[in-house]
Amino acid sequence: MLDSLHLSPWATTAIAALAAVFAAAIGHRIAALLALRATRPAPLLHAVVQACVPVMRVLLPLVALQMVWQAASDEQRYIASVRHLNGLLVIACGTWLLMRGIRGLANGIIARHPADVEDNLQARRIATQARVLSRTAMSGVFMAGLAMMLMTFPGARQVGASLLASAGVVGLVAGIAARPVFSNMIAGLQIALAQPIRIDDVLIIEGEWGRVEEITGTYVVLRIWDERRLIIPLQWFIENPFQNWTRNSSEILGTVFLYADYRLPLEPLRAELDRVLETAPEWDRRVKVLQLTDVTERTIQIRVLVSARSSGLAFDLRCRVREALVTFIQRDYPECLPQVRMPATAESGQEPLRGGVSSML
């Protein structure tokens, strides 16, 4: 029919291309609805399909166009360039599709293990592994797609062949230049597998207290308690020691130190601690200890040890206990607050006592 209308070769090809794009769009619409409905009972597969649907909306028309260009006559002007450009777009979209699929798989795994529960250690472990491994895999897919696109250029293949002659020097230079990249990539795999840190872990790094907010392919974002962000390279965690307060469990002990006079009785203070903890929602009822841990020539040191379900609750509990016990001593035993004693002088009319306490200022 098209030949009977005496259309030019490019006009015929253009009409065929429009028809192919239209058919691909309809096919994508139908296939997407069916795939989303069929995978709804499987949340993991459903997440992958949801991530891939937007890319397929672009990829299917490109594949249909590539079939049209391949079927077109080789004698058409610029057809080789059009085929090459469309092929590059197909490879780029295919790489994008694989990366979206990997991300959807990771998000599906994370969604199956929510971290908004009290004991979220297992969920944080899985989330860390899924995010780090998925980003590593996506980086590999991106590099493979870029290499495939470069291999479609004859000039790039010739350059690669010529570089093989000086592979020793080039390899040495490339290895030195890429050392930080590969070091962080290997460190990311080590963190994903060994998991010295996880998402939402509480860390102490160089005196800073914060939670792991994000783990990327090259660095870790630590959210400090005052909303600052500390950016740390992945390799740093492999080469330096650090504190992880939630390595095996989020439960933690909190310590409160008090300093008082020797005359302070401890039993009323223990009774006050019991009363405060019974009304404290932060206390998990595991540990409750009040001990006299040290004495000096002027004061006694009292240590209160309490437990909480997380470091944040432990901090709030320590503040609550410290405030309540100090208020108790101020109210009921004000004379037992830390005192400074000095021997009496001749001006006061008293003889100074040697080796003892004579008066209190």
Residue spans of the domains in the chain: they are 9-112, 252-339
Selected residue with higher pLDDT from 248 and 280: 280
Tokens 């293949």 correspond to 157
The total of other beta-carbon atoms located within 10 Å of residue 62's CB is 20
Whether residue 277 contacts residue 321, with contact meaning beta carbons closer than 8 Å, is answered with yes
pLDDT band (50, 70, 90) for residue 2: very low
Q: How far apart are CA 221 and CA 214, in angstroms?
A: 5
Per-residue pLDDT at 10 exceeds 80: no
Per-residue pLDDT at 208 exceeds 50: yes
Q: How far apart are CA 197 and CA 218, in angstroms?
A: 14
Which of 69-83, 136-150, 157-171 has the lowest average pLDDT? 157-171
Residue 37 buriedness (CB in 10 A; 0-12 / 13-18 / 19+): exposed
- Share above pLDDT 70 across residues of the chain, in percent, rounded to a whole number: 81
User: Where are any strands of DSSP class E within the chain?
Assistant: 202-205, 208-215, 219-224, 229-233, 243-244, 252-260, 283-295, 300-308, 341-342, 359-360
Sequential DSSP letters for 94-159? HHHHHHHHHHHHHHHHHHHS-S-SSS-HHHHHHHHHHHHHHHHHHHHHHHHHHHHHHHTSHHHHHH
Determine the longest span between alpha carbons in the chain, in angstroms. 132
pTM over 0.75: no
pLDDT band (50, 70, 90) for residue 256: very high
CATH class label, 252-339: alpha beta
- pLDDT tens-digit map of 28-46: 899 889 988 888 888 888 8
- Nearest residue to 208 (alpha-carbon basis) of 192, 221, 190: 221
Distances in whole angstroms, Cα of residue 222 to Cα of each of 165, 210, 230, 244:
46, 6, 5, 12
Return the pLDDT at 184: 64
The total of other beta-carbon atoms located within 10 Å of residue 52's CB is 20
Across-strand partners of 303? Answer: 257, 291
Return the pLDDT at 346: 47
Residue 58 buriedness (CB in 10 A; 0-12 / 13-18 / 19+): middle
Per-residue pLDDT at 286 exceeds 80: yes
- pLDDT tens-digit map of 325-355: 999 999 999 998 887 766 665 455 554 444 3
Please, what's the b/e burial string for 182-192 (b: 16 or more CB within 10 A of its CB; e: otherwise)? ebbbebbebbb
Return the pLDDT at 118: 61
Return the pLDDT at 181: 59
Q: How far apart are CA 101 and CA 53, in angstroms?
A: 10
